[in-house]
A and B are shown apart, each in its own frame.
Chain A
Amino acid sequence: MLELKNISFEVSDEKGTKEIIKDLNLKIDDGKFVVITGPNGSGKSTTAKIIAGIEQPVSGSIYLDGKDITNKTITERANAGISFAFQQPVRFKGITVLDLLKLASKKQLTPAEAGKYLEMVGLRAKDYIRREVNSSLSGGELKRIEIATVLARETKLSIFDEPEAGIDLWSFQNLIQVFKHMRETTKGSILIISHQERILEIADEIILLSDGTVVKQGTKEEILPELLKKANEKTALNKPA
């Protein structure tokens, strides 16, 4: 189980200090498929990065399976069982898709073994396994490879930061299938940062963030209808008379 207690996070610039996350508390139980949603700037991606250790909170504690990991490094958290898929996948000159999947799995995967992770995200393994993870790949391809690296890790907590960002409709349809499959097969928990209704629809739980704090957490059935109602009202208000 992952638990965040009283997490606060600030950013500073020449204008001063701004609190992005305010006394945030949340729990993610084992085996759950949880989606964090909320408006732009509500602190969703920052929360995900704090869990992975990419950002450090100014106060509060993070527990994984009861152990305090607040001061653990990114590497230590990764080795403790946290995976993170970036919203903007990183490019590497000279590192191939196969290299990256081997690093992710910590195994000397054969191309065939690595290929199964690519097939899971809808990429034909033979077309990609030897390619460099560089600018020759499209945004959608990089995104799917990024997700494949998380699948290859098979950890207890997999975090996906806006997996739908920057991918086309076809890829998105495939992505939904990937997450549905993960939900059925993974023994770990899945945490997705997303605005997408179709991702919210397959969640066990939804956490609604606003202005850096949790405003609601509950089952999909408890949260989603109200969210959709508010979204529809906003759309109606914005329509020209």
Chain B
Amino acid sequence: MIDEIQKRLLAEVADLHEVPEGAYNLRANSKLAGRSTTANIDIITKEDVSGIDIKIKDGTKNESVHIPVVLSDSGLKETVYNDFYIGENCDVIIVAGCGIHNCGNQDSEHDGVHRFYVGKNSKVRYVEKHYGEGDGTGKRILNPVTEVYMQENSSMEMEMVQIKGVDSTIRTTKAELDAGAKLIVRERLMTHGNQTAESIYETNLNGEGSSADVVSRSVAKDSSYQKFDSRITGNAACTGHTECDAIIMDNAKILAVPQLEANDIDAALVHEAAIGKIAGEQIIKLMTLGLTKEQAEEQIINGFLK
């Protein structure tokens, strides 16, 4: 059974207010809290380690899989391995995400290892949201590892969001792209207090005509720390772009490390990084519309992270 706290966490991380349509696997406090499969999407519990295999048949279109995780008991630590086998010619949405409620004094930690095997010509939209809450002294820790293996002409759009309440996170994402494959990553991140967040992206463009666009927008408040480390390697005729755009506030610190490596004369790679405080003129403009300074800052941040 899902309690009220867990329901709230599910709403935060997966926009779930009721049982989702299609396939799903709900995990609460390290236990299975609900599962549904469809004719095209099967979910199987792993036997050797904690986690599940999600198998999506060839040609599956307009279907979704929700696999959110919620932790509400203080002191829980778990590592979960979820493997997604997406057949050829699919068009699916996968919604993951983890919410931690920690009211105790022990750290709670969820480390999810997700591996995606995307078949030829398949199209995947992946949404992963992380959220933390609770007034305990125990930390809320999330260390997701995502590996993506993309076959010819497949495409994957990844939305990675962490806006609130996670004390420490190291997000590691690796992608291998075959010919014609296309990867788009949009990361949105906000840290506050003494939180730390490290994002590591390693993208290998191995096939001719493959492309990647890895963009992070982040806001660091208070004394928080962020590191964005994105490396694109072009091993064929390909195009790659990585960008970090960050707003720094208060006593926060941000390190951006975009890296490019071209191993083919026809690899076209670009990186951009910008870190700066909110422009005073932006605040003044919104104040001339009747907003207070605080309201103006909130609007600017909300827009930036939208």
Query: Which residues of chain A have a CB within 8 Å of any CB of chain B?
Result: 52, 54, 73-75, 78-79, 82-84, 86, 90-96, 99-100, 103-104, 106, 149, 153
Contacts and interface: CB of A to CB of B under 8 A. Distances in A.
A97 B168 CA distance: 36
Nearest to A77: B288
Q: Is the interface of A mostly helix, strand, loop or mixed?
A: mixed
Interface string B286-303: 111111110000011011
Contacts of B286: 103
A46 to B, nearest CB: 15
Contacts, number: 57
Given A93-B303, A94-B217, A99-B299, 5 more contacts: A73-B287, A75-B290, A78-B287, A90-B285, A94-B302
19 contacts: A54-B288, A73-B287, A75-B287, A78-B287, A78-B290, A82-B288, A84-B288, A90-B281, A90-B285, A92-B303, A93-B217, A94-B302, A94-B303, A94-B304, A94-B305, A95-B303, A96-B303, A103-B291, A104-B289
Contact of A79 (B282, B284, B290, B293): B290
B150 to A, nearest CB: 28
B215 to A, nearest CB: 11
Nearest to B274: A93
Given A54-B284, A90-B281, A92-B282, A106 B290 contact: yes
Given A54-B284, A86-B285, A93 B304 contact: yes
Contacts of A82: 288
Contacts of B279: 90
B292 A75 contact: yes
A95 B299 contact: yes
A119 B180 CA distance: 42
A171 to B, nearest CB: 20
Given A92-B282, A95-B299, A103-B299, A78 B289 contact: yes
Contacts of A99: 299, 303
A116 B208 CA distance: 48
A78 B296 CA distance: 13
Contacts of B305: 94
B245 interface: yes
B288 A83 contact: yes
B162 to A, nearest CB: 17
A103 B303 contact: no
B291 A95 contact: no
Given A90-B279, A90-B282, A149 B303 contact: no
Q: Name the residue among B279, B288, B304 with the largest chain A CB count within 10 angstroms.
A: B288
B35 to A, nearest CB: 37
A104 B282 CA distance: 14
Contacts of A104: 289
A235 B147 CA distance: 71
B23 to A, nearest CB: 32
A96 B293 CA distance: 20
Contact of B300 (A54, A79, A92, A106): A92
A132 to B, nearest CB: 8
Contacts of A86: 281, 285
B288 A74 contact: yes
Contacts of B245: 93
Contacts of B285: 86, 90
A51 to B, nearest CB: 11
Interface string B230-266: 0000000000000001000000000000000000000
Contacts of A75: 287, 290-293
A84 to B, nearest CB: 5
Nearest 5 interchain pairs by C-beta: A94-B303, A95-B303, A74-B287, A78-B290, A90-B285
B300 A74 contact: no
A122 B245 CA distance: 33
Contacts of B291: 75, 103
Nearest to A82: B288
A84 B293 CA distance: 16
Contacts of A84: 288
Q: Name the residue among B281, B282, B287, B300 with the largest chain A CB count within 10 angstroms.
A: B287
Contacts of A92: 282, 300, 303
